[in-house]
Amino acid sequence: MTTTNNNSVPKVSKVDVLIIGAGPAGLMAATGLTKYGINNIRIIDKRSTKIYTGQADGLNPRTLEIFQALGIGSEIAHEMNTFGEVCHWEPNASGEIKRTARSSVSPPGISKFQSSCLHQGRIEEHLMNNIARWSMSARPTNDGSNQSPTSKKVIVERAVCPDSIHLPPITSSPLSDKDEDQITLTLRHLSESEAKPAQFLPSTKDGLFRSNVFDSEASDLDSNPNGLPAEGSLETVQCKFVIGTDGARSWTRSALGYKLVGDSLNYFWGVLDGVPATDFPDIRGVSLIHSAENGSLMIIPRERNLVRLYIQLPQPIPGQRPNRDDITPEKLLQVTNSIIAPYTLRMPNVDWYTCYEIGQRLADSWHWNNRVFIAGDACHTHSPKAGQGMNTSMADTFNLAWKLAHVLQKKADLKILETYGVERSKLAQELITFDQKLSSLFSGKPAKDNEDSNGISLKEFHQTIEKSKHFISGTSVNYDSNILIFKGDDINSIIKSKPELAKHTPIGTRLLSNRVVCLSDANVSETLDLIPADGKWKVLIFPGDIQANEDCKIKLDQLSDFLANDKTSPIQRFTPVGQDTDSVIDCITIVSSSRTALELTQFHQILRPLQGPHRFGSYKKIFTDEESYHEGHGHAYEKYGINPNVGCIIVARPDQHVSLILDLNDHLALSSFFEQFMISPHFTPSS
Amino acid sequence: MTTTNNNSVPKVSKVDVLIIGAGPAGLMAATGLTKYGINNIRIIDKRSTKIYTGQADGLNPRTLEIFQALGIGSEIAHEMNTFGEVCHWEPNASGEIKRTARSSVSPPGISKFQSSCLHQGRIEEHLMNNIARWSMSARPTNDGSNQSPTSKKVIVERAVCPDSIHLPPITSSPLSDKDEDQITLTLRHLSESEAKPAQFLPSTKDGLFRSNVFDSEASDLDSNPNGLPAEGSLETVQCKFVIGTDGARSWTRSALGYKLVGDSLNYFWGVLDGVPATDFPDIRGVSLIHSAENGSLMIIPRERNLVRLYIQLPQPIPGQRPNRDDITPEKLLQVTNSIIAPYTLRMPNVDWYTCYEIGQRLADSWHWNNRVFIAGDACHTHSPKAGQGMNTSMADTFNLAWKLAHVLQKKADLKILETYGVERSKLAQELITFDQKLSSLFSGKPAKDNEDSNGISLKEFHQTIEKSKHFISGTSVNYDSNILIFKGDDINSIIKSKPELAKHTPIGTRLLSNRVVCLSDANVSETLDLIPADGKWKVLIFPGDIQANEDCKIKLDQLSDFLANDKTSPIQRFTPVGQDTDSVIDCITIVSSSRTALELTQFHQILRPLQGPHRFGSYKKIFTDEESYHEGHGHAYEKYGINPNVGCIIVARPDQHVSLILDLNDHLALSSFFEQFMISPHFTPSS
């Protein structure tokens, strides 16, 4: 592709993963990798500072679950604003807007979190702090050694952008350390003025930043400066893997020759952030307002008394764009007031504003040879109003990070990387389809009556909102069958997944969280908190009522014996010598009997393994499904749809998605599942 | 008293408050003061570093509520271990220990928090970080200016101890700035070796630290080194107020000539911290074990897999003390194993250990002239097993801090300071009485049967534990009537408190927290979270069902009109010119009607005041008592015992304790209550 500059003497470094772009997607990739123990990585960003104003802010329940899994849930919860309610406002017969409906933003019961928001800059700050922290603590790998024996603090390298990429032969081994097998990039170190984000430049004194309507502002960011680089400003980096999270105008995507495919809808919207003074009653709710004649408005109540307004701009003649002069805070507030009349809204201090044209675009490929990946806005762009951008982007790399860590730690075969693009591109397509429908309905002028075929149906708009709540929450994401997901739809497989054993637990989705009681200390845990982002596979054993049902008891004993003693058991096969038995595959047992009828010692040691150098017992592995002292009954068996007289095994991936559901005594399927893609650190005679 | 050394040239500084001793009590004093905007303070400690091992660890629900009010609840919750269950183990007929009962540690329903523990060193760390943070943000005072216009970062000054104190005439004014009205102390700056805590000294290589049984170790800490101080090691500080939180051997208490009064019970216990390897089933519960012949043991499950053992030592001959050689980890573990036999317990790494003699002592006075206060261990010592020491000490200074801030900010009269000693010494006496009973029962040998009058009754022990749970939780603390507490027991007062209007809300206790729904955004709040430690008085208005009951509606309107427009209204009287109307007295309205029947604009602006320089509306002031989308119904009216057809006003102090309960239309009593002790910043013709 492009060549390096001859004037400079590039220094050469080697990393496992180079991440290009330190927005939410890139930072989540680095967060996951460092959390899982991979710290020979670099993350670069062409801007010299992080984002301080504007940009994304929506956090859906699934993203909050991911933050919780990463151990940063409470610090983010401390700052964010939770959306309590969504209100519809629509014109009555006289054309005056009235509140026509209100409901919860997230459907009750789908998560312990609700849709919320916090400014992208704060999210990035939290992620960066944790990347730095985690990268300093080396973790053991599959071969018992430390992947990164030396602590190496990973921080975002700013004012650095890629200049060229050289791909190795397609047949090269990604895990090889040879120079010729590496992906080689030239990086350019920018000067302060080259790297300053548009938000700080005099040319953006009017506040427009990252608008997709007016190219001039964005070009400050998205094109490299002309002219030869100064001597010493180039370097060479060799990588096993590259993650391009460099936004809608992704350099990485372009360098690979891939494109965003899609179109615009010719609807233009403005965005305005600030603290409003208003008599509009639902300014602290999510308000969806269709006015009779003046367009639509969406109100998003934010942290620190801020409010974001999405303001539909007057429709230009098809093919034309709005007038540049219409995009000022004053004009945006004028439109806002025309939409919410007779209510009024002032915003003495505007925090940020921009405008955008609604469009939906999808990358035509998500990776090169499963070694260079693109993620986030580089793969999917759409309108911001459903708050899906930052969420979906972070979910992309949360999906990718554990797989890359598994491969780099030689725990799993390269082929698991293929699932990244397959799983995430399907979701992105669903998002695009949803956004097209929602945007059209929200930007459309309401029909005056049933006869008015020029207007959109508000009834259809309501129904679309209602039906899409689960999707918007991010908790309905359901990956299709692949090497990591067995839905029981392949009857020829020896891996016989039985969805009917946990009939409210769709295989492919992330596990629903339910409250259970810890046998050893009577404290209540959420089941999702038992599947933190520690890079381990979770075998959730639901043996049923082992107190009342002898068959359940026997099956649990047989399963324990298999896990502990059979040489084909995944714990025996994949746990490195000298490591705790729960270091790769972690068993959590949830019985439906009461804890007062049980003693910890009844359970096989494999289910409550000895841990650490002093071999103390682990006490947070056995739980019961019953009334707790302070937090009621979680009804976990009922909510998962598990019969307490039958039980089952649920295998959850490190990202909390359900891989398969098995009979308690289907030891073979359990072994076979992991055998497909996991790599045993032990000598295997047959291989 | 003592004189300063002539060889040194003391520098002289002036502070509002000097805090002597940076343990939990002293740090809580500084936390409160800085949070309320007082940062012209100093906090000194004779030790050169904070505590790293051992010491206190119990956190009762009330302390966790206080942390929550201070805004540091989630960071502490992140690290602590919650006690899920308390188990009794007692000898059966054959003398073998068996589990005889289990129950919750905190009674359900009394708090949203449960008893927990976290090492004192971590608590101190969190408090210190927040003191530094808060002291940097100056806050407005009653006269509209900033008390501390310059940011001044308050940090613990270590290796500094008081050397002498000079008290001004008893008639001097505490708020005067004149030199002769100040309390003058000489402070000595210690060398590194003088200040090193015993935990780090070679002489304590055996780990015994702060034992009250063997004096030698403690003397390293508690006596000043002999010899003349080096030149420049003394300084003079002039203070308006002094808080002595310098422990059981308080220098401050001694300097005032006060004493701890009480006695020892001749029971000796060892304490051992570490990560155990054991087959004892309830090692992660709070276990209270009476063995037949070998004494008693208490197990406290701690954070980071640690466990604390309280081990009863063999009873020496009365008047004698245990053998020094018996106090080793090995010996303590040997006794432990004899108590829990046939179970066994190993502890490969001992984190810390000590021993203590059970005794209960109370200070004979808590203050000098309400200008020098003592608090915490300086006022009350007792056995550590109920985990009350750190909790009670922090609660002492949480009680004192807002009162001192009010006085220093000229919001309130000096006389409110009298309530500190009165309120806290009563509680301390209750604690001492409780501890004597509990310690005797726990240290006593169990009676073999009903005829065995030499043994203690296990039934009585169980009942004592059960009855004391609310007390141990810290949530039952109930202050008697005083200038800040009106229980309605004085029929001659014009302040007619009516406890029957909120019959489950005892006046004098901290308000019970209940969930309510925010009118403006449908989010759920805990009522205690509406009374954060912001130094404001809270007027909680429960107008009842204003939708269905016209009388309730009228009374709310009349009350709003009074608050907003009557010159005798406490808001008019005590809010400085130019400040938001909720800056001193903050009204929170909780109606029993459904929010769907209400609009924010129905409520008078005084109940949802305009705030900040841009005068935006405050949206977190009006709440309803109804079903929420995600968290059920809080039943606040029912739980407070308020009739929705009658309503009431509950006035809560800045420390969340209930001052009085009034009829909705008793405007006179509301005015009169504040008029007793608050100082109006406005010109008052009659004064």
Neighbours of B180 (CB within 10 A): 10
Overall average pLDDT of the A392-417 stretch:
98
Per-residue confidence at A144, pLDDT binned at 50, 70, 90?
very low
Stretch A141-157: mean pLDDT, rounded?
A: 64
Contacts with A276 from chain B: Cβ below 8 Å = 616
Bridge partners (DSSP) of residue A229 are none
Residue B65 and residue A121: Cα distance in Å, rounded? 31
Q: Domain holding B248: CATH number?
A: 3.50.50.60
Quote the pLDDT of residue B620. Answer: 96
Residues of B forming the active site: 57, 302, 310, 384
pLDDT > 60? residue A252: yes
Mean pLDDT over residues B66-75, rounded?
95
CB atoms within 10 A of CB B546: 24
**SS3 state of residue A417:** helix
Q: Which pLDDT score is estimated for B134?
A: 94
Same-domain status, A395 and A521 = no
**Same domain, yes or no: B667 and B524:** yes
Nearest Cα neighbor of A475 from A516, A438, A450, A505 is A505
Residue A228, helix vs strand vs coil: coil
Asked if residues B574 and B681 have their Cβ atoms less than 8 Å apart, the reply is yes
Q: Say yes or no: B416 and B551 in one domain.
A: no
| Phi, psi values for residue A307, rounded to 5° | -135, 140
Within-domain flag for B321: no
Is A275–B616 a contact, with Cβ atoms under 8 angstroms apart? yes
Q: Identity (one letter) of the amino acid at B321?
A: R
Q: Across the interface, which of A75, A104, A281 has its CB nearest the CB of B629?
A: A104
Does residue A210 surpass a pLDDT of 80? no
Alpha helices per DSSP H over B444-526: 458-472
Question: How do beta strands A41-45 and A156-158 pair?
Answer: parallel
Q: Can you give the pLDDT at residue A38?
A: 96
- Identify all chain B residues contacting A106, using CB atoms and an 8 Å cutoff: 630
* Residue type present at position A139: R
Query: Smallest CA–CA separation between B99 and chain A, in Å?
Result: 11
Please indicate whether, in this complex, the C-beta atoms of B114 and A630 are within 8 angstroms of each other. Answer: yes
pLDDT exceeds 90 at position A415: yes
Q: Which residue has the tokens 């992140």?
A: B78
- Grade residue B56 by pLDDT with cuts at 50, 70 and 90: confident
> Which residue in A85, A521, A612 is closest to B85 by CB distance?
A521
State whether A617 and B278 contact (CB < 8 Å).
yes
d(CA A43, CA A120): 18
Instruction: Tell me: pLDDT of B452 over 90.
Output: no
**pLDDT score, position B538:** 98
Within 8 A by CB and 6+ apart from A558, the residues are A665, A667
Q: How confident is the model at residue A137 (pLDDT cuts 50, 70, 90)?
A: confident
pLDDT tens column, B459-471: 999 999 999 999 9
- Residues A529-558: pLDDT tens digits? 999 999 999 999 999 999 999 999 999 999
Which residues of chain B lie closer than 8 angstroms to A518, CB-CB? 84, 284
Q: Do A77 and B74 touch (CB under 8 A)?
A: yes
pLDDT score at B150:
57
Judge whether residue B383 has pLDDT over 90.
no
Nearest CA in chain B to A614: B348
- In this prediction, residue A216 carries a pLDDT of 41
Instruction: Say how far apart CA A152 and CA A170 lie, in whole Å.
Output: 31
- A465 lies in a domain? no
Assign 3-class secondary structure to A427-474. HHHHHHHHHHHHHHHHHCCECCCCCCCCCECHHHHHHHHHHHHHHHCC
CB–CB of B417/B407 below 8 Å?
yes
Which residues in chain A have Cβ-Cβ distances shorter than 8 Å to B521? 83-85, 284-285, 301
B318: in domain: no
Confidence of residue A226 (pLDDT cuts 50, 70, 90): very low
Residues above pLDDT 70, as percent of chain B: 89
Q: Which two tokens stand for residue B383?
A: 């056995």
| Contact (Cβ atoms closer than 8 angstroms) between residue B297 and residue B340 | yes
Integer Cα distance of B290 and B89 in angstroms: 6
Q: Which of B219-233, B476-490, B525-539 has the lowest mean pLDDT?
A: B219-233
Q: Return the higher-pLDDT residue of A208 and A108.
A: A108
pLDDT-above-90 percentage for chain A: 77
Stated pTM of the model: 0.93
pLDDT-above-70 percentage for chain A: 89
Residue A676 above 80 pLDDT?
yes
> Which residue among A91, A276, A384, A446 is the active-site one?
A384
Q: What is the mean pLDDT of residues B419-426?
A: 97
What tens digit of pLDDT does each residue of B602-655 get?
999 999 999 888 888 899 999 999 999 999 999 999 999 999 999 999 999 999
Q: Which residues of B427-443 are buried (b: 16+ CB within 10 A; e: fewer)?
A: bbeebbebbbebbebbb
Which helix (H) or strand (E) segment holds residue B193: the answer is: helix B192-195
From residue B420, alpha-carbon distances to A84, B43, B148, B260, B350 in Å are 41, 20, 25, 18, 40
Residue B687's pLDDT is what? 42
* CB-CB under 8 Å, B84 with A518: yes
DSSP code, position A419: H
Contact across the interface for B284 and A84, Cβ inside 8 Å: no
Q: What is the pLDDT of residue A231?
A: 42
Cβ-defined contact of B599 to A305 (cutoff 8 Å): no
Q: Judge if A122 and A208 occupy the same domain.
A: yes
How far apart, in whole angstroms, are the C-alpha atoms of residue A396 and residue B230? 65
Domain shared by B136 and B24, yes or no: yes
With contacts defined as CB-CB under 8 Å, which chain A residues touch B76?
A: none
In the structure encoding, which two tokens stand for residue A617, read together? 């017992």
Question: Is there a contact between B238 and B182 (Cβ–Cβ < 8 Å)?
Answer: yes
Instruction: Kindly give the residue spans of alpha helices, DSSP state H, lying in A38-189.
Output: 61-69, 73-77, 120-135
Estimate the crossing angle of helix A418-443 against helix A389-408, to 10 degrees: 180
Nearest residue of B to residue A111, measured between CA atoms: B630
Q: How far A287 CA lies from chain B's nearest CA (Å)?
A: 11
Q: How much is the pLDDT for B53?
A: 62
The residue annotated as part of the active site, out of A36, A267, A310, A356, is A310
Instruction: Say if A381 falls within a structural domain.
Output: yes
Of B84, B103, B521, the CB nearest to A84: B521
**pLDDT higher than 70, residue A139:** no
Please judge whether B77 and A74 are an interchain contact, meaning their C-beta atoms are less than 8 angstroms apart.
Answer: yes
Indicate whether A570 belongs to any domain. Answer: yes
CB A486 within 8 A of CB A497: yes
**Distances from the Cα of A152 to the Cα of A144, A397, B317, B369, angstroms:** 19, 21, 60, 58
My answer on whether B519 and B384 are in the same domain is: no
Confidence of residue A130 (pLDDT cuts 50, 70, 90): very high
Interchain pair A616, B305: CB under 8 A: yes
What total of structural domains would you count in chain B? 2
**Which residues in chain A are contacts of B284 at CB distance < 8 A?**
518, 520-521, 619
pLDDT at B196: 65
Task: Tell me, yes or no, whether A453 lies in a domain.
Answer: no
Same domain, A390 and A521: no
**A548 shares a domain with A639:** yes
Average pLDDT over residues A513-519: 98
In a domain, B71, yes or no: yes
Tell me if A278 and B617 make a contact (CB, 8 A cut-off): yes
In this predicted model, which residue has the larger pLDDT, B143 or B234? B234
Q: Which residues contact A685 (CB under 8 A, 6 or more apart)?
A: none
> Among A21-30, A592-601, A677-686, B77-86, which is the least confidently predicted range?
A677-686
Per-residue tokens: B37: 């905007």
Of A281, A283, A520, nearest to B599 by CB-CB distance is A281
Residue A364 · residue A258 · CB < 8 Å: yes
Q: Label residues A624-660 b or e (16+ Cβ within 10 Å = b).
A: bbbebbbeeebebbebbbbbbebbbbbbbbbbbbbbb
Q: Is residue A196 predicted with pLDDT exceeding 70?
A: no
| Residues of B with Cβ-Cβ distance to A614 under 8 angstroms | 275, 277, 348-349
A384 catalytic residue (yes or no): yes
**Please, which pLDDT band fits residue B319 given cuts at 50, 70 and 90?**
confident
CB–CB contact B522 A106 (8 Å): no
In whole numbers, what is the pLDDT of chain A averaged over residues? 90
Strand A86-91 to A286-290 pairing? parallel
Question: What is the model's pLDDT at position B317?
Answer: 81
Q: Does residue B556 or residue B452 have the better pLDDT?
A: B556
Considering the domain architecture, whether residues A32 and A166 belong to the same structural domain is answered as yes
Q: What does the block give as tokens for B568? A: 């005798």
Residue B138 — pLDDT band, cuts 50, 70, 90?
low
The whole-number average pLDDT for the span A134-147 is: 59
Domain end point (choices A403, A421, A439): A421
Binned at pLDDT 50, 70 and 90, residue B327 comes out as confident
Q: Based on the fold, state whether residues B382 and B528 are members of the same structural domain.
A: no
Domain that residue B162 falls in: 12-79+117-218+230-262+360-421
- Taking the CA of residue B630 and the nearest CA in chain A, the distance in Å comes to 5
Chain B: closest CA distance from residue A200 (Å): 25
From B639's Cα to the closest Cα of chain A, the distance in A is: 16
Is residue B67 over pLDDT 70?
A: yes
The rounded radius of gyration (Å) of the Cα atoms in chain B is 27
Question: Residue B373 and residue B375: Cα distance in Å, rounded?
Answer: 7
Question: Using CA atoms, how far apart are residues A436 and A442, in angstroms rounded to an integer?
Answer: 10
Residue A489 falls in the annotated catalytic set: no
Q: How far is CA A249 from the centre of its chain?
A: 20
Write down the catalytic residue from A16, A36, A45, A57: A57
Task: Choose from B74, B521, B601, B602 for mutation: most chain A CBs within 10 A.
Answer: B521
Nearest to B571 by CA among B545, B550, B541: B541
Give, in order, the Cα–Cα distances in Å from A14 to each of A33, A171, A182, A233, A256: 16, 20, 9, 18, 21
Q: Shortest CA distance to B112 belongs to which of B466, B592, B620, B639?
A: B639
Contact flag A616-B277 (C-beta cutoff 8 Å): yes
CA–CA dist B557, B581 (Å, integer)? 17
Q: Is A190 helix (H, G, I), strand (E, B) or coil?
A: coil
**In a shared domain, residues B530 and B629:** yes
Set of chain B residues whose Cβ sits within 8 Å of the Cβ of A617 = 277-278, 283
Would you mind telling me the total number of residues written for chain B in this entry? 687
Distances from the Cα of A642 to the Cαs of A594, A635, A645, in angstroms? 16, 10, 9
Q: Which chain B residue has the Cα nearest residue A103?
A: B629
Domain at A631, CATH number: 3.40.30.20
How confident is residue B340, by pLDDT bands cut at 50, 70 and 90?
very high
Cβ(A534)–Cβ(A406) under 8 Å? no
Chain B residues closer than 8 Å to A277 by CB: 610, 614-617
* Helix/strand/coil for A576: coil
- How do the residues of chain A divide into helix, strand and coil, expressed in percent and rounded to 5? 30, 25, 45
Chain A interface, best mutation among B347, B616, B628, by max A CB count within 10 A: B616
Q: What is the rounded average pLDDT for all residues in chain B?
A: 90
> Residue A508 is encoded by which pair of tokens?
């492919």
Query: Does B104 sit within 8 Å of A522, measured CB to CB?
Result: yes
Please say which residue of A371, A401, A421 terminates a domain.
Answer: A421
Contact indicator for A682, A573 with CB cutoff of 8 Å? yes
Tell me the nearest-neighbour CA distance from B614 into chain A, angstroms.
7
pLDDT score at B203: 37
Alpha helix stretches (DSSP H) within A499-546: none
Q: Among A421, A454, A469, give the residue marking a domain's end.
A: A421
CA A408 distance to own-chain centroid? 21
Q: Are A495 and A669 in contact (CB under 8 A)?
A: yes
Question: Residue A142's pLDDT is what?
Answer: 43
Asked whether residue A316 is domain-assigned, the answer is: no
Whether residue B130 is found in the same domain as residue B257: yes
Chain B residues with CB-CB distance to A275 below 8 A: 612, 614, 616
Q: Are B200 and B190 in contact (CB under 8 A)?
A: no
Total CB pairs under 8 A between chain A and B: 112
